[in-house]
Amino acid sequence: MPSDSGTAERPERRAPEAGGTPVAPGTSSPRAPVTLSLDGLEKKVLAGEGNFLWRIPFAGGTDGFAVLKVYYGSRSSLLYMKKTLGNLLLTGRTSQMPRARFRHEVASVRLWEKHGFRCFGMHPEVRVAGLPDEGYMLYDWTPGRHFREYFKDAAVPLEERLAMWRRWVPEWHRRHMIAVREREPMLIHENGDVKHVMLWQGGFTYFDFEICFRSRNVRDLVGREILAYMRSAGKFFGDELYERLMDELVAHYPDKTLLLAAWEHAFANDNPVIRVGRWLDVRLKPRHHSKYSKYGVARDLKRRLDAASLTRGS
Partner 1 sequence: MPKAAAARELLRLDGNRIWRVQTAHGPVLQKLYAERGSWLHAWGRELASRLRGGKTGTRAAARRATEARLLALWREQGFDVPAELSARHPELAGPRTLVLEFVDGPLLSALLADPALPRSRREALIERFAADTAKRHARALSLGEAALVQEHGGVQHVLVAAPAGAAWTEAASRPVSALRFASFDLENSFRARRNLSPLLAKEIAACLRSLARCSKSDAQRLRSDVEAFVRGYADRSRLQASVAHYLRHPSPVWRAVWAFDRRREARRDRPHGKYALLAVLDGVLRAGLR
Closest contact distance (angstroms) between CB of 254 and partner 1 is: 6
Q: Which is nearer to partner 1, 76 or 314 (CB)?
A: 314
Q: Are strands 65-70 and 52-57 parallel, antiparallel or unpaired?
A: antiparallel
CB of 309 to partner 1, least distance (A): 4
Angle of the 294-308 helix axis to the 218-252 helix axis, nearest 10: 50
Q: Which is nearer to partner 1, 209 or 263 (CB)?
A: 263
For partner 1, which is the closer residue by CB, 80 or 242? 242
Indicate the SS3 state at residue 260.
helix
Of 76, 209, 79, the C-alpha closest to 137 is: 209
> Based on CB atoms, which residue is closest to partner 1, 154 or 307?
307
- Axis crossing angle, helix 218-252 with helix 256-267, rounded to the nearest 10: 130
Please report how close the Cβ of residue 23 comes to partner 1 at its closest, in angstroms.
21
How many Cα atoms occupy the beta-carbon half-sphere of 29 within 13 Å? 25
Closest to partner 1 by CB, 100 vs 258, is: 258
Are the beta carbons of 215 and 29 closer than 8 angstroms?
no
Shortest spacing between CB 266 and partner 1, in angstroms = 10
Least Cβ distance, residue 313 to partner 1 (angstroms): 3
Residue whose CB is less far from partner 1, 66 or 259: 259
Phi, psi for residue 217 in degrees, rounded to 5: -85, 75
The number of beta carbons lying within 10 Å of the beta carbon of residue 164 is 16
Determine the Cα–Cα distance for residues 143 and 55; give it in Å rounded to an integer: 11
Q: How far is the CB of 39 from partner 1 (least distance, A)?
A: 52
How many other CB atoms are there within 10 angstroms of residue 226's CB atom? Answer: 27
Question: Angle, to 10 degrees, between the axis of helix 272-284 and the axis of helix 256-267?
Answer: 70
* Choice between 124 and 254, CB closer to partner 1: 254
CB atoms within 10 A of CB 259: 23
DSSP per-residue string spanning 184-252: -GGGS-TT-STTSEEEETTEEEE---S--B--S-HHHHHHHHHHHHHHHHHHHHHHHHHHHHHHHHHHH
Chain contacts with partner 1 (rule: CB under 8 A):
173-174, 177, 252, 254-257, 260, 263-264, 267-268, 299, 302-303, 305-306, 308-314
Q: Which is nearer to partner 1, 286 or 313 (CB)?
A: 313
Closest approach of partner 1 to the CB of residue 290, in Å: 15
In whole angstroms, the minimum distance from the beta carbon of 18 to partner 1 comes to 12
